[in-house]
Structure 1
């Protein structure tokens, strides 16, 4: 009987890779120590997870919740794992956190990856994390250079004390790539399309084991510079104050009180085109109280933001300054009829500062000159149902409606000059994008499931529908109406062989684009804009396998974009075709 079940499971994995076809390139699957980026429902404490001597009983007041982690359901030509999904499953329960792995594949793809740590006296852990990934690009599709490389080098320190835990980490990232998505012109093969982004981050975090008064403190900093001398400095501090577990009479209701205090400063300076400069300083206060009885609760709160903003560019004689105060509602309830059925709903809102760094994570092909301003979610109502059926089937389904100001999305750029020449800057071939903003309403429906039919088989799926009704634009550019994913993880041969499948799907996307022709005498370029172009949807299928030859040595193989679809992430930017990468991994 067990053999039949194993055979059926293997057939399922193979069938899935064919049944949900069309594709796009997938991000390399790395066994990193960092948290996986896969969208799933996770059963977890809302506070810090229990680690080593971390006392679980003192954090037990926080509710157990099912959450959907939002990550871009996109597997683009770019090789960076930050923008894609880690679709390779991991061996569970492994005691070896230190590893080195190396792999090679088609398209000239090379992977080098390592994570090494050691515990010193007084429970202090220090370590380093290194990742390098490169590809030669689509040489058969583009006459010009489309190769890309990405590297991150980081170091971290964890200290576990009697009253709390402390973490500090530093990371340097280098992303070296090209604006290769030229669709309206035919430049020479030696055209310079280079873009390079350097970013250095330092983060610190201290979490007290008890929820008395000062709960935790987080400090983040980022320093960015690119090939075109754009610079951005960002620093944020967040402190959470709390008093948890206060009994309300003899009703069995516990009260939790929280106050979040945050400070964030961002300064961005661009050196080309309009030479935009933006400076933001935001102070945030978020008080809330939560009444809890069993798994049912009611949370009431608010969020206040005090924003000081400054903008300027070559067209403004004076700097534009503004000071504004925002208020956002914060409330949520959950009625737990049973573990299988938990009804919830609420309203939230907030202010998000749009930084150059954040925009590059969403779209690396934006021009190095952006007008930056924050996005305001005035309110977002939502209702949903979640549950856990016999710890075998977990689900979370919700629907929401919100009103937003300055929704950010990406619009394709025209030529920045109409001179009839191909001797142009790397970003001047109608091959870049700029952030645009519009007010509007958004309706969303999302659902996520996990199913554990066997001890060694895990199935999961997720879907998200989002419809934007904008004030000025007829369509929101480069945002799909529907995103979905399915996945499977299967272990066999006494847990020596790990097989994985991940399928990522998206509906058609609308964009603007340009047709360019030479006219007149002397000859000049003339552009015609199409405001309702289609980029197309995709289905991206990925398989992975890892086999443990020895407890310290394993071999792996990754198959991405297995149907070899040359779909586009943004207009002109085709992804790699079918990719096969194999390698070895040493753990110790």
Structure 2
């Protein structure tokens, strides 16, 4: 079976790389920054020029489209570094907002996914979506439960008025899984390894048609609670003020002036172990001016943060910290031609590390974390990007920065050395955040190539090297990762084929060897290895969708086709080769 799958992969790659005729239909912008909305809802302005100061009525007639992430194709259980990434390509220009799809696969995988929206009177649009994915996990690898169920239910409302457009969206997310990564012990019997995270988000956004003075306002909120009674409440508000397109005489240079005013508040309380508690309140100002002529520009600005932080736990009385930060913000681009645009700059900033964000990166962290913000004091970068005949787009850059309190994850050992009433997180199977100061060097690049109107090829590469003050190596961060992809339509656009390959190098981690001593009351002794390795991986994925009718199609997804049961974190193997098939109905 594995040989057949590999043959199909090679065959598809051969088909995807065929021909090089210069048919120019697709245009793509590299590294476009997107405002994060409700998960799986992506805001896209379609058929609107990227100019904000055109007649309000004309702009108000152009709706904001929402596309729903159809299938997270590599959605094992929280073990894959590509959790939540959709590697299934979409039919361009033919997607409908209203659809329902259902799929089943090996490992007991079940997918239910749907979206519905309706435009009402007075330019109101309402919609909702649901996404449920479950798997039985690796029953042949572990004697204990390793299954997972994740669900997201969202709803949104759009309103288009005379002066601006308004959006509000809400989402409930559930992750129900297990701390199954036990590698240093051999427990027997049924174990309670359950972790469950509930999170509710409400986001609001108002965009004025004219960018005179007040440009837009964003409000985001999040409420999280897990199985161990950890609670986190978060709210952020951002207002952008601007004055754009001010002509400076007859020089042909335009001036844009912007000011961002932000507020972030996060309160987190944990109920187990040290019972850490933290409270952050941060206000920020980001003034900047941009001088632009054609595709060349110079941006000068600063970022100011005013942080009020409080931390406490059972071992530590409350610590208070009030601090003001300043960060440089500058960037230039010299456009010799559209094919060659040289750019560079410097930036920095303060990132509040929250429990919710940590769970997105590593769901197997202990439900008790000491939270600190990460400060990027400065980050210099230079790069080259361009568009060659609308057939090849590229962006390459290199950077160097200095950071304080870089956050990464260290493996936990046993929290006690007895074998009685061991908790779900007390098998050397969880991780905790640790912090260190240091320097970071990075090289990254991305390329998109359009050899045919119905073929798109893309590749990304990132190299990141940390030089830390106290730790010899950063844990659980690969030195190198990359991806390649292809999207090919055929049979009069009825058949859509996709390929995605994701690669990562080895990662250094710490780990524990545990030995039981004595009887009948066993005492466990552990030895830490601070230079263990978690192997790299190559994860190859194929997808296909065939439209039998304009409202009905069938699809199939093949994930991790090399059947590599690599580990994303020590002890946590991912699912092997997965095949999922199903039907999709649009209406």
* TM-score, normalization by structure 2: 0.89
Change (3 A) 1:543 1:82: closer
- 1:462 matched to which residue of 2? 460
Return the alpha-carbon distance in structure 2 between the equivalents of residues 126 and 80 of structure 1: 33
- 2:85 matched to which residue of 1? 85
Return the alpha-carbon distance in structure 1 between the equivalents of residues 527 and 73 of structure 2: 31
Change (3 A) 1:497 1:539: same
Please tell me whether the aligned partners of residues 145 and 189 of structure 1 are also in contact (alpha carbons under 8 angstroms): no
Matched position secondary structure for 1:41: coil
Structure 1 unaligned blocks of 5 or more: 1-8, 18-38, 61-71
Is the counterpart of residue 129 in structure 1 residue 129 in structure 2?
yes
Return the alpha-carbon distance in structure 1 between the equivalents of residues 14 and 534 of structure 2: 28
- 1:36 matched to which residue of 2? none
Please tell me whether the aligned partners of residues 499 and 546 of structure 1 are also in contact (alpha carbons under 8 angstroms): yes
Q: Which moved more, 1:82-91 or 1:462-471?
A: 82-91
Change (3 A) 1:410 1:79: closer
Given the alignment, which residue of 40, 45, 52 partners 1:58? Answer: 52
- 1:41 matched to which residue of 2? 30
Return the alpha-carbon distance in structure 2 between the equivalents of residues 462 and 447 of structure 1: 6
- 2:502 matched to which residue of 1? 504
Return the alpha-carbon distance in structure 2 between the equivalents of residues 582 and 396 of structure 1: 36
The Cα of 1:57 is off from its aligned counterpart by 4.1
Return the alpha-carbon distance in structure 2 between the equivalents of residues 209 and 58 of structure 1: 6
Please tell me whether the aligned partners of residues 451 and 459 of structure 1 are also in contact (alpha carbons under 8 angstroms): yes
Change (3 A) 1:81 1:520: closer
Given the alignment, which residue of 483, 487, 490 partners 2:488? Answer: 490
The Cα of 1:78 is off from its aligned counterpart by 1.7
* TM-score, normalization by structure 1: 0.89
- 1:328 matched to which residue of 2? 327
The Cα of 1:97 is off from its aligned counterpart by 1.5
Matched position secondary structure for 1:334: strand
- 1:247 matched to which residue of 2? 247
Return the alpha-carbon distance in structure 2 between the equivalents of residues 81 and 114 of structure 1: 25
The Cα of 1:394 is off from its aligned counterpart by 0.0
The Cα of 1:77 is off from its aligned counterpart by 3.8
Is the counterpart of residue 179 in structure 1 residue 179 in structure 2?
yes
- 1:387 matched to which residue of 2? 386
The Cα of 1:487 is off from its aligned counterpart by 0.1
Change (3 A) 1:80 1:89: same
Q: Which moved more, 1:183-192 or 1:373-382?
A: 183-192
- For the aligned residue pairs, the C-alpha RMSD in angstroms reads 2.3
Q: Which has the higher contact order (CA 8 A, sep 6+)?
A: 1
Return the alpha-carbon distance in structure 2 between the equivalents of residues 46 and 133 of structure 1: 25
Please tell me whether the aligned partners of residues 496 and 545 of structure 2 are also in contact (alpha carbons under 8 angstroms): yes
Please tell me whether the aligned partners of residues 76 and 135 of structure 2 are also in contact (alpha carbons under 8 angstroms): no
| 1:267-282 equivalent positions in 2, closer than 5 A | 267-282=267-282
Change (3 A) 1:535 1:95: closer
| 1:106-125 equivalent positions in 2, closer than 5 A | 106-125=106-125
- 2:364 matched to which residue of 1? 365
Please tell me whether the aligned partners of residues 74 and 80 of structure 2 are also in contact (alpha carbons under 8 angstroms): no
| 1:141-156 equivalent positions in 2, closer than 5 A | 141-156=141-156
Return the alpha-carbon distance in structure 1 between the equivalents of residues 79 and 134 of structure 2: 7
Count of residue pairs brought into register by the alignment: 545
Matched position secondary structure for 1:251: coil
Change (3 A) 1:76 1:444: farther
1:63-113 deviations in Å (ceiling 9; x for gaps): xxxxxxxxx999764289984311010000015221000000000000000
Return the alpha-carbon distance in structure 1 between the equivalents of residues 158 and 81 of structure 2: 24
- 1:471 matched to which residue of 2? 469
Is the counterpart of residue 430 in structure 1 residue 424 in structure 2?
no
Please tell me whether the aligned partners of residues 75 and 82 of structure 2 are also in contact (alpha carbons under 8 angstroms): no
The Cα of 1:123 is off from its aligned counterpart by 1.4
Return the alpha-carbon distance in structure 1 between the equivalents of residues 234 and 436 of structure 2: 25
The Cα of 1:58 is off from its aligned counterpart by 3.0
Return the alpha-carbon distance in structure 2 between the equivalents of residues 254 and 12 of structure 1: 52
Return the alpha-carbon distance in structure 1 between the equivalents of residues 534 and 15 of structure 2: 25
The Cα of 1:11 is off from its aligned counterpart by 6.6
1:375-425 deviations in Å (ceiling 9; x for gaps): 000000000000000100000000000000000000000000011x16310
Return the alpha-carbon distance in structure 2 between the equivalents of residues 337 and 413 of structure 1: 53
Return the alpha-carbon distance in structure 1 between the equivalents of residues 404 and 200 of structure 2: 31
Please tell me whether the aligned partners of residues 74 and 504 of structure 1 are also in contact (alpha carbons under 8 angstroms): no
